[in-house]
Amino acid sequence: MSAPARRLSVSVNPVAIAGNQPGSPILGASSPPSLATFGSPPPLSGLSLSRSAQGSRTSASAFPQQQQGKALAPFPVVDAPVKILLLENVNTAAVDLLKAQGYAVEEIKKALGEEELINKLKEGNFQAVGIRSKTKITAKVIKECASLLVIGCFCIGTNQVDLLAAAKAGIAVFNSPFSNSRSVAELVISEVIALSRQLCDRAREMREGIWNKVSKGCWEIRGKTLGIVGYGHIGAQLSVLAESMGMSVLYYDVIPIMPLGSAKQVETLEELLGAVDFLTLHVPELPETTNMISKAQIDLMKDGAYLLNNARGKVIDIPALVDALKSGKLAGAAVDVFPHEPASNGPNFGDALNEWSSALRSCPNLILTPHIGGSTEEAQSMIGSEVGSALISYLNLGSSQGAVNLPSLTLRPILEDSGARLCFIHQNVPGTLKIVNGVLEEFQVSKQSSDSMGDVAYLLADIVGVTEKDITQIYEAISSTSNNIATRMLF
Ligand SMILES: NC(=O)c1ccc[n+]([C@@H]2O[C@H](COP(=O)([O-])OP(=O)(O)OC[C@H]3O[C@@H](n4cnc5c(N)ncnc54)[C@H](O)[C@@H]3O)[C@@H](O)[C@H]2O)c1
C-alpha cells in the first residue's frame, strides 16, 4: 500500500519542559507505516508472558499488533522520515525493524557522554533514541532535546534514564525486561545437571592433571524434585524444561499462579524447602526477598540438597551458604548474581568487593558465573525485536503498552477511513478530561482510554467521521490547553 508523504507532528508544552524551544512543535516525519510493513511481525516464538494484577497469565505479543484497520500516519503531513539515533551497537533485529518502517536510522557503535549526546540529538532533531546500559539520559539531555518523543532502552534495566524527567517531558521510555527469560531457564537446567554430577570439580581437576573417576554423590536429575521460588517469566519456563527432563516441579510464589504441566504450587516457602532436591530462586529484589534464604531456611532443606541463585544478589545470605557447603549440609550451589558486582570485566571479584569472596570461591561443588544468566545472542535479538517494536507501536499508533514511565494504553485499530487518533500526554490535574471532552463533544468518539501515573496522564481517543479541518481544530484546541505536555494526532 503506497501512501503520500506525511509529517509527524507533536505539540509540546514549553512550560511543561523548561528549555524546550517554543514554536518548534513540528518534528521530522516518516513515510507512514503501511499495512504491508506494519502487519508482518517477526515469528512469535519465545515471546514473554505478561501478568495481570491478579497474577493470572495472559499472552501478550511483544511485537506491534497485526493491524486490521486503517494505517495511521501523523498529522499534519511533512516529507521527512522519523529520525532515530541508535547507540551502543543495538542489535540488528531492531535496526532492520525500524528501517522497514521507513524511519531514518543512524547508528553509533559506542555510548555518548552527556554533552555529546545533547549535541547529536539537537543537531539531528531526532524523535527517538535507542540506548543500552552505558548511555545516560539525564534530566539535562531531556530538557535540551525538545524533539525527542521516545527512548528505547535495548536492555533489561532503565536506571540509566531519568524516568520522571522523561515522563514530565512527555517522552515514553520502553525496555525489555523479559526477553532473556528462556536464556536464564536454560542456564539453570545446565547448572542442575552440572551440580548433580559434580561437573565443575571434575573439569577443574582434569585441567590440573588429576584423574578422579567417582560416582559417589553423583546423580541423574530424572525423578528428582525441583523447587522454584518465584513462578514468573523465568520460573515458569524453567518448570516446563525441568519436567521435560523427568523432574517433578514444586513452586512457591506470593500469588496464586496457574501451574504449567504437572507442576504444583505449595502454600509456604517452608513447605517447599523440605520437599525438594534442588531449590532455585527466581524472585525480584525486594525488601521481603532480601536474605530470604539464610541459615534458618537452609536448615529446613534436605541434607545434600542443592541451591541455585540466578535472581538477584541479595536474595541469598552468602556467608550462610558458605557454611552449608563447607559442612556438607548442601551438596552444591550455583550463584550467578551477587550483592556487589564488578563494574567491568577483569580480576575484580575479590574480597574488596564482597568480604566473603575468597571463602565462597573455595567451596566444593560450586558454580560461580558473572551474571550471565540472560547473556545470549538470542536474548539480545529478542530485546532488539521487542524494544524496536514498542518504538514503532508508540510512534505509529500511540500505543504506550509496556512503557515504564507512562500509563500503559492501547486502542483497537481504527476501521473507518475517516478516523483519527488523538494521543494526549498531559499533567494529571483535575478538569483535564472535561476540557478534552468539551473539544471532542461535537465529534463521534469511537473509543477512548485514559490513565495516569503520578503527575502525568495519557489519553488516547479515536474520532471517526472527521475531515482534515476537524483534525486541525482538535489538534490546536487540545495542544493549547494549559495542561498539555505533548499532543500528537494520527490519521
Ligand atoms: N541472572 C540473570 O542474568 C537474570 C536475567 C533476568 C532476570 N533475572 C532476575 O530473575 C528474577 C526473576 O525474573 P522474572 O523475569 O522471572 O521475574 P517475574 O517478575 O516474571 O517473576 C517474579 C516472580 O516472583 C514472585 N515473587 C515476588 N516476591 C516473592 C516472594 N517474596 N516469594 C515468592 N515469590 C515472590 C512474583 O509474584 C513473580 O511471580 C528477577 O530478580 C530478575 O532480576 C536475572
User: How many Å lie between the centroid of ligand 1 and the Cα of residue 294?
Assistant: 18
156, 234, 240, 383: residue to mutate for ligand 1 pocket, most atoms within 8 A of CB: 234
Catalytic residues: 312, 341, 371
- Which pLDDT value is given to residue 67? 55
* pLDDT, tens only, 316-357: 999 999 999 999 999 999 999 999 999 889 999 999 999 999
Q: What is the residue with the minimal CA distance to atom 1 of ligand 1?
A: 373
Residue 489's closest CA among 22, 20, 32, 158?
Answer: 32
Report the pLDDT averaged over residues 197-212.
97
3-state secondary structure of 197: coil
Query: Where do the DSSP E strands lie in 238-354?
Result: 248-252, 264-265, 278-281, 305-309, 330-335
Residue 49 has pLDDT above 80, yes or no: no
User: How many Å lie between the centroid of ligand 1 and the Cα of residue 338?
Assistant: 15
Sort residue 188 into left (φ over 0), alpha (ψ -120 to 50) or beta: alpha
Backbone dihedral angles phi then psi of residue 431, each to the nearest 5 degrees: 95, -10
* pLDDT, tens only, 242-298: 999 999 999 999 999 999 999 999 999 999 999 999 999 999 999 999 999 999 999
Burial profile 318-348: b = 16 or more Cβ within 10 angstroms, e = fewer: bebbbbbbeeebbbbbbbbbbbeeeeeeeee
Q: Residue 472: pLDDT band by 50, 70, 90 thresholds? A: very high
Residue 75 has pLDDT above 90, yes or no: no
Please state the three-class secondary structure of 414-455 as a single string.
CCCCCCEEEEEEEECCCCHHHHHHHHHCCCEEEEEEEEEECC
**Cell numbers found for residue 237:** 519456563
Backbone dihedral angles phi then psi of residue 283, each to the nearest 5 degrees: -110, 160
**Predicted TM-score of the model (pTM):** 0.79
* For the CA of 178, the nearest atom of ligand 1: 15
CA distance 320 to 333: 12
- Could you give the angle at the alpha carbon of 479 between the alpha carbons of 473 and 482, nearest 5°? 130
**Cell numbers found for residue 47:** 515471546
Report the pLDDT averaged over residues 375-403.
96
**Cell numbers found for residue 64:** 506491534
Report the pLDDT averaged over residues 116-140.
96
Report the pLDDT averaged over residues 48-60.
29
Tell me which residue has cell 541455585: 308
- The CB of 313 under 6 Å from ligand 1? The reply is no
Element (H, E) at 236: helix 233-244
**Strand order through the sheet with 83-86:** 104-107, 83-86, 128-131, 150-153, 172-174
340 within 8 A of 315, measured Cβ to Cβ: no
Tell me which residue has cell 481517543: 461
- Which pLDDT value is given to residue 343? 82
Task: Kindly report the average pLDDT of the chain as a whole number.
Answer: 87
231, 253, 272, 314: residue to mutate for ligand 1 pocket, most atoms within 8 A of CB: 253
Q: Is 156 buried (19+), middle (13-18) or exposed (0-12) by CB count in 10 A?
A: middle
286 within 8 A of 312, measured Cβ to Cβ: no
Alpha helices per DSSP H over 274-410? 295-300, 318-327, 357-361, 377-397
- Which pLDDT value is given to residue 470? 95
* For the CA of 234, the nearest atom of ligand 1: 16
Q: Residue 73: pLDDT band by 50, 70, 90 thresholds? A: confident
**Strand order through the sheet with 330-335:** 264-265, 248-252, 225-229, 278-281, 305-309, 330-335, 366-368
Looking from the CA of 489 toward its CB, the CA atoms found within 13 Å total: 26
What is the total residue count of the chain? 491
**Cell numbers found for residue 6:** 506525511
By percentage, how much of the chain surpasses pLDDT 90? Answer: 81
Report the pLDDT averaged over residues 403-413.
96
- Could you give the angle at the alpha carbon of 62 between the alpha carbons of 57 and 68, nearest 5°? 105
Residue type, 86: L
Q: Residue 209: pLDDT band by 50, 70, 90 thresholds? A: very high
Element (H, E) at 215: none
- Which pLDDT value is given to residue 146? 94
- Which pLDDT value is given to residue 20? 33
Least confident of 53-62, 128-137, 152-161, 308-317: 53-62
- Which pLDDT value is given to residue 66? 47
Alpha helices per DSSP H over 47-159? 92-100, 114-124, 139-144
* pLDDT, tens only, 306-318: 999 999 999 999 9
* For the CA of 284, the nearest atom of ligand 1: 41
179 within 8 A of 48, measured Cβ to Cβ: yes
**Cell numbers found for residue 390:** 514498542
Full set of structural domains in the chain with CATH = 1-180+376-403 (3.40.50.720), 181-368 (3.40.50.720), 414-491 (3.30.70.260)
Q: Residue 63: pLDDT band by 50, 70, 90 thresholds? A: very low
